[in-house]
């Protein structure tokens, strides 16, 4: 069975299967062993108990970046999102400069649909930055009460 046929009935997205082929985890068409392995992956696909230990290996900042960009399908969308998010306050990126930059970097001509998606990415990044500005203190990473030298030991009965 080849990747295209398998992707039609699988929980595993076609792009993920293509990525697995690209880095030579699987071949196209699949062997019987690979089909058995993919069947096992499908059983745990999208299960929290499977994802949690993987995410635990990443630091909080990396997890947040991953979650923030997981809805962006292509590399160029993630690139544009990162460019917008890394802007210092008061800085701007004009679309007339960003579009050619993406076209040169990723070697494709942006269609009107892609340009529309780029505007959506910009809007998404601006909303994320607004949320970040409204709540600058993050309780997961910047909690001043976690300093062990300043903590008091309280014994209760």
What pTM does this model have?
A: 0.67
Q: Widest CA span of the chain, in angstroms?
A: 70
CA 60/CA 55 separation, integer angstroms: 9
Would you give the DSSP letter of residue 146?
Answer: G
pLDDT of residue 101: 94
Give pLDDT, residue 71.
86
Local confidence band at 139 (pLDDT 50, 70, 90 cut-offs): very low
Question: Does the structure show a pLDDT above 60 at 59?
Answer: yes
Query: Which of left, alpha, beta for 24 (phi over 0: left; psi -120 to 50: alpha)?
Result: left
What letters, b where the CB count within 10 A reaches 16 and e where it falls short, cover 115-126?
Answer: eebbeebbebbe
Spatial distance between the Cα atoms of 20 and 144, rounded to a whole number of angstroms? 43
The confidence score (pLDDT) of residue 145 equals: 52
Residue 5 neighbours by CB distance under 10 Å: 11
pLDDT band at 112 (very low <50, low <70, confident <90, very high): very high
Of the pLDDT bands very low, low, confident and very high (cuts 50, 70, 90), residue 40 is very high
Using CA atoms of 19, 78, 97, 85 in order, give the dihedral in degrees to the nearest 10: -160
pLDDT digits (tens, 9 = 90+) for 75-111: 999 999 999 988 888 888 899 999 999 999 999 999 9
Burial (CB < 10 A; 0-12, 13-18, 19+), residue 101, is middle
Average pLDDT over residues 56-77: 88
Q: What is the pLDDT of residue 29?
A: 87
Percent of the chain predicted with pLDDT > 70:
86
Residue 84, burial from CB neighbour count under 10 angstroms (0-12, 13-18, 19+): buried
Rounded average pLDDT over 26-44: 92
- Mean pLDDT calculated for residue range 16-37: 92
SS3 assignment, position 53:
helix
């Amino acid at each position: 069975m080849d990747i295209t046929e398998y992707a039609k009935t699988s929980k595993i997205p076609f792009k993920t299967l293509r990525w697995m082929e690209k880095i030579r985890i699987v071949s196209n068409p699949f062997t019987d062993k690979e089909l058995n392995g993919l069947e096992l992956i499908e059983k745990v696909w999208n299960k929290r108990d499977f994802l949690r230990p993987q995410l635990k290996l990443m630091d909080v900042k990396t997890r947040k970046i991953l979650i923030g960009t997981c809805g962006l399908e292509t590399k160029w969308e993630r690139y544009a999102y990162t460019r917008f998010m890394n802007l210092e306050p008061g800085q701007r990126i004009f679309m007339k400069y960003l579009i050619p930059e993406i076209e040169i970097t990723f070697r494709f001509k942006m269609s009107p649909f892609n340009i529309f998606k780029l505007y959506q990415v910009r809007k998404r990044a601006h909303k994320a930055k607004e949320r970040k500005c409204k709540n600058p203190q993050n309780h997961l990473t910047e909690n001043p009460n976690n300093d062990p030298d300043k903590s008091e030991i309280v014994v209760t009965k």
